[in-house]
């Protein structure tokens, strides 16, 4: 079973997303170290995430919001870099321990807004195209977890969080005639802030169910899980 150095189960929003997708895949990964097959992980989203954090930090230092979200979101950027540095770390993040369950939930925030002493989680999402009407629905559990963790650490929250969708729009030729002969170009991004209602209580219900499942027997496959379906088909192949 997945545990930290203190022998305690530690789960993140991404682990809980796997639990929601398929309990069996989640149980096998955390209890047996059997992971779903995967290809090469794209590096662009991670690179964009790092660039966006630096970009937002520049405006944080100025006490302003990036112009593309000015007037489109509530509040101002959290101006305590010490907290944010800690909350952003994947190996640390913001955490809460449930003593009764002897388990811990942790999450790493991209950013945070503050409005009237309330903390609002913000997450950057890089997409290949503009967000659809339901694109935010895939991240509700993640935002629920962030809001729940803020509450459990003593911070007042709102009943919503923000997703910032970044999608490439066009390539701009900035200066094709530079002396070096090397043209400069810039990828322009479409930016869509989306306000998402959150339910912190739902995050705890998922967390509790996931911990209890890990301590029980191997569950059945989810009927829609393609990974389980492939594995079952492979075993019966002749």
How are beta strands 160-175 and 118-126 bridged, if at all?
parallel
* Overall size of the chain counted in residues: 238
Closest to 111 in 3D by CA, of 160, 165, 162, 64: 162
Let me know if residue 2 belongs to a domain.
Answer: no
Q: How many domains does the chain have?
A: 1
Residue 127 Cα distances to 68, 92, 132, 222, angstroms: 17, 26, 11, 28
Closest to 119 in 3D by CA, of 156, 82, 87: 156
* CATH for 143: 3.90.320
Let me know if residue 68 belongs to a domain.
Answer: yes
Kindly give, in sequence order, each residue whose CB lies less than 8 Å from that of residue 13, ignoring residues fewer than 6 positions away: 107, 141, 142, 145, 146
- Dihedral (CA of 57, 61, 139, 196) sign: negative
Let me know if residue 4 belongs to a domain.
Answer: no
Q: Is 155 helix (H, G, I), strand (E, B) or coil?
A: coil
| The overall pTM is greater than 0.85 | yes
Tell the residue number behind the tokens 């701009």, with chain if given: 172
- Which residue range forms the structural domain that includes residue 75? 9-236
Let me know if residue 121 belongs to a domain.
Answer: yes
How are beta strands 160-175 and 184-197 bridged, if at all?
antiparallel
Let me know if residue 1 belongs to a domain.
Answer: no
Per-residue pLDDT tens, the chain, 238 aa: give them.
556 666 789 999 999 999 999 999 999 999 999 998 876 667 777 788 999 999 999 999 999 999 999 999 999 999 988 888 899 988 889 999 999 999 999 999 999 999 999 999 999 999 888 888 898 999 999 999 999 999 999 999 999 999 999 998 888 877 655 555 555 678 888 999 999 999 999 999 999 999 999 999 999 888 789 888 877 766 666 5
**Cα distance between residue 192 and residue 68, in whole Å:** 8
Let me know if residue 96 belongs to a domain.
Answer: yes
Residue 5 Cα distances to 16, 25, 89, 188, 208, angstroms: 21, 24, 18, 45, 21
- H helix or E strand, kind and range, residue 49: helix 44-62
Let me know if residue 75 belongs to a domain.
Answer: yes
Let me know if residue 122 belongs to a domain.
Answer: yes
Identify the pLDDT of residue 1. Answer: 53
Q: Answer whether 229's CB lies under 8 Å from 37's CB.
A: no
The one-character DSSP state at 133 is T
């Amino acid at each position: 079973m997945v545990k930290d150095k203190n022998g305690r189960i530690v789960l993140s929003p991404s682990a809980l997303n796997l639990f929601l997708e398929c309990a069996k895949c989640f149980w096998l990964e955390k209890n047996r170290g059997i992971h779903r097959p995967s290809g090469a992980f794209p590096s662009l989203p991670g690179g964009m995430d790092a660039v966006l954090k630096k970009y937002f930090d520049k405006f944080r230092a100025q006490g302003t919001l990036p112009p593309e979200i000015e007037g489109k979101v509530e509040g101002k950027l959290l101006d305590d870099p010490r907290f944010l540095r800690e909350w952003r770390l994947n190996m640390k993040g913001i955490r809460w321990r449930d003593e009764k369950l002897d388990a811990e939930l942790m999450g790493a925030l991209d950013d945070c807004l503050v409005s009237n002493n309330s903390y609002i989680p913000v997450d950057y999402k890089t997409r290949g195209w503009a967000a659809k009407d339901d694109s935010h629905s895939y991240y509700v559990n993640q935002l629920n977890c962030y809001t729940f963790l803020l509450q459990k650490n003593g911070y007042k929250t709102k009943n919503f969080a923000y997703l910032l969708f970044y999608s490439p729009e066009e390539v701009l030729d900035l200066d094709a005639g530079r002396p070096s002969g090397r043209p400069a170009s810039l990828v322009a991004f479409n930016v869509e802030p989306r306000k998402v209602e959150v339910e912190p209580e739902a995050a705890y219900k998922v967390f509790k169910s996931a911990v209890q499942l890990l301590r029980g027997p191997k569950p059945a496959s989810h009927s829609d899980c393609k990974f389980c379906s492939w594995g079952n088909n492979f075993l019966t192949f002749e």
